[in-house]
Structure 1
């Protein structure tokens, strides 16, 4: 391989969509003149995270033109609201999840929620939280202790400073937003926290 071949490969667009990447909408809606954030509660029959609060969205399919298209498709599949009633305002920072690939969030305004028709196979319930409440109430913070342990076939004895990688432990912060009987946490809370930070600038 020569330099010209390397340069050609570096400038060839990669249109392949990673198999695990996902896209979500952070939907804003207007209720009695106030802007709210719309959340969904995952169906209790789902294998992954049943009953948990999240933003609408899901995996990016090979048929999706791009991440935003995937987020809009998933929103329609889960809430029955077509793309023409959704105004995507801006993308947000991508979030890397060790188990779920790269998450692509988008802030969107939903023109009307009068005709929401949740897909009961995916959505158990939905609710909203006023942005004003989120701006005036700080989230609770808890910590998760994570232990890194070398797995099978990891050549721990052949790397420098191997001792630092044996049972290494660190703590990571998790944010919890409580509203009435609802709890928002995990990746959803991280996306929400970025949105709130943007609104406080």
Structure 2
């Protein structure tokens, strides 16, 4: 293979392979002339993260045209609101999740919640939070300890500076937004935080 062949291959767009990627909506809705953000509480019967607060969304299917289409489809499946009632405003930065691939977030405006019919197989509850409340209330910060522990197939004896990868521990901050009885954290808080930073600036 020569340099020209490499240049040609690099200039050819690769077909997107989402594998485990997911797409979510950060839905804005106007309630009594005030903008709110819609959140959902995951059904208690789900195997993954039951009862936790999140944005509507889910895995990107092969049949989805792209990540935005997946976010709209998932929103409709979870809340029953027709896609024509949803306007995509912008995408946000993708977030890499070690267990779930890339998360593709989109900010959207929902015309109304009048037609909301949550899918009880996926949604335990839902609630909205005024944007002004989130802007004026900084999140609480907690720390998670992360331990680096090489797996059995990791060639620890063959790499330089091996001691740096043996049972090392470090702390990483997590943001927690608290609203009434609800707590918003994890990837949802990271997406929310980016959105709030955007509109603050």
- TM-score tier by shorter-chain length is over 0.9
Give the RMSD, CA atoms, in angstroms: 0.9
SS across alignment from 2:108: strand
Alpha-carbon offset, residue 3 of structure 1: 2.1
Displacement after TM superposition at 1:16 (Å): 3.3
**1:23–1:103 contact (8 Å) kept in structure 2:** yes
Q: How far, CA to CA, are the matches of 2:127 and 2:39 in structure 1?
A: 6
TM-score by length of 1: 0.97
Describe the superposition over 1:70-118 as per-residue Cα deviations: whole angstroms up to 9, x where unpaired.
0000000000111110010000011000011000000000011111010
Residue 49 (structure 1) shift: 0.4
CA contact (8 A) 1:38 1:127 kept: yes
Q: Could you state the TM-score of these two structures normalised by the residue count of structure 2?
A: 0.97
Deviations 1:21-41, CA, capped at 9 Å, x for gaps: 000000000000000000000
Structure 2 residue aligned with 1:85: 85
Deviates more, 1:29-38 or 1:6-15: 6-15
Equivalent-residue separation in structure 2 for 1:55 and 1:119 (angstroms): 14
Q: Deviation string for 1:155-182 (max 9, x for gaps)?
A: 1111111111111211111111111111
Give the whole-Å Cα distance in 1 for the aligned partners of 2:178 and 2:87.
Answer: 27
Aligned residues: 201
Runs of 4+ aligned structure 1 residues displaced above 4 Å come to none
Q: Corresponding residue for 1:65?
A: 65
Kindly indicate whether residue 52 of structure 2 is the aligned counterpart of residue 52 of structure 1: yes
User: 1:17–1:61: 8 Å Cα contact kept in structure 2?
Assistant: no
The gaps in structure 2 that reach 5 residues or longer are none
Moved more, 158-167 or 4-13: 4-13
Q: 1:136-175 maps to which residues of 2 (within 5 A)?
A: 136-175=136-175
CA distance in 2, matches of 1:127, 1:17: 34
Unaligned runs of 5+ in 1: none
Q: Secondary structure at the match of 1:132?
A: helix
Partner SS state of residue 103, structure 2: strand
Distance across 1 between alignment mates of 2:61 and 2:117? 23
